[in-house]
Amino acid sequence: GQQLNQSPQSMFIQEGEDVSMNCTSSSIFNTWLWYKQEPGEGPVLLIALYKAGELTSNGRLTAQFGITRKDSFLNISASIPSDVGIYFCAGRIQGAQKLVFGQGTRLTINP
């Protein structure tokens, strides 16, 4: 069943705008990962988070592991056309071995 709630499902923004998306769960997570997937390709790892409160950046991308360990967010600053794609959060629930994925956020950018 669905263990991660990712929102929003889709975003339509103007080039240059900042973007924010998040994932929440009722379960406690030990790891949060953020991936980007483009058409016809597999998900590409953007940022990995391993500790509650951790804030990590990768260029214009910043992600945080929520203090409660039940959520994470991803921000993209000053969006550009190549940021278009589907962004997935994924996490490993405490005590479990496998990753669970969110439903994805589809980002569309108007030039």
Partner 1 sequence: EAGVVQSPRYKIIEKKQPVAFWCNPISGHNTLYWYLQNLGQGPELLIRYENEEAVDDSQLPKDRFSAERLKGVDSTLKIQPAELGDSAVYLCASSGGLAGADTQYFGPGTRLTVL
Contact footprint for partner 1 (CB under 8 A): 4, 6, 30-31, 33, 35, 40-45, 48, 50, 88, 90, 92, 97-99, 101-104
Q: How far is CA 32 from the centre of its chain?
A: 8
Of 45 and 78, the one with the shorter C-beta distance to partner 1 is 45
Give the pairing type, strands 105-110 and 71-76: unpaired
Q: Minimum distance from CB of 30 to partner 1 (Å)?
A: 8
State which residue, 70 or 77, has the beta carbon closest to partner 1. 70
Name which of 9 and 78 has its Cβ closer to partner 1. Answer: 9
Closest distance of CB 9 from partner 1, Å: 9
Beta-carbon neighbour count of residue 38 at 10 Å?
12
Distance CA 102, CA 111 (A): 27
Give the CA count within 13 Å in the CB-facing half-sphere of 10: 3
Q: Is 71 helix (H, G, I), strand (E, B) or coil?
A: strand
Smaller CB separation from partner 1, 19 or 88 = 88
